[in-house]
Amino acid sequence: MELIHDLSARANLDADQTATGLGTLLFAVRMGIDARTWDQVKSVIPDAASLLSRASPATGRTAEIVSFTAPGAVRKALAVSGIPETAVTILADALRDLIRTKLSADAAGRAVAALDRALG
């Protein structure tokens, strides 16, 4: 996928790490927005469903699933997956830009706000 290839080079990650990072970011967006907005987001992200399946399976101390909508949860989950903070920033910025350029202002605002909440 061209998006993964481009972001891998920009974030200095391999394709698997990039897919995990982007999938985790998309999962956080999905959990923080309504279904109608999500339909719009996934329509502009190539292979969004496949990327969601790559989201980091980070868990809490007692193996409970971490809420990706909690402030800072995404950064923690990706750190556990071995993705450096600088790469998370690059992936998040790219996702924000893609959402802002492809969606209506209202939908983009909701999706970007969900991402920003999850990033903390």
Give Cα separations from 21 to 75, 87, 105 (angstroms).
Answer: 10, 9, 25
Q: What 3-state class would DSSP assign to 79?
A: helix
Q: Could you read off the pLDDT of 50-97 as tens digits, one per residue?
A: 998 888 865 444 444 556 666 787 888 898 889 999 999 999 999 999
Backbone angles phi, psi at 57, to 5 degrees: -85, 30
Question: Is residue 59 one of the residues assigned to a domain?
Answer: no
The two three-digit tokens of residue 51, written as one number: 């990327």
Query: d(Cα 83, Cα 110) in Å, to the nearest integer?
Result: 26
70: domain range?
A: 2-54+66-119
Task: Tell whether 60 is covered by a domain.
Answer: no
pLDDT at 44: 93
pLDDT in tens, 11-59: 999 999 999 999 999 998 998 999 999 999 999 998 888 998 888 865 4
pLDDT at 107 over 70: yes
How many domains does one find in the chain? Answer: 1
Inside any domain, residue 79: yes
Instruction: Look up the pTM and report it.
Output: 0.88
Whether residue 61 is contained in a domain is answered as: no
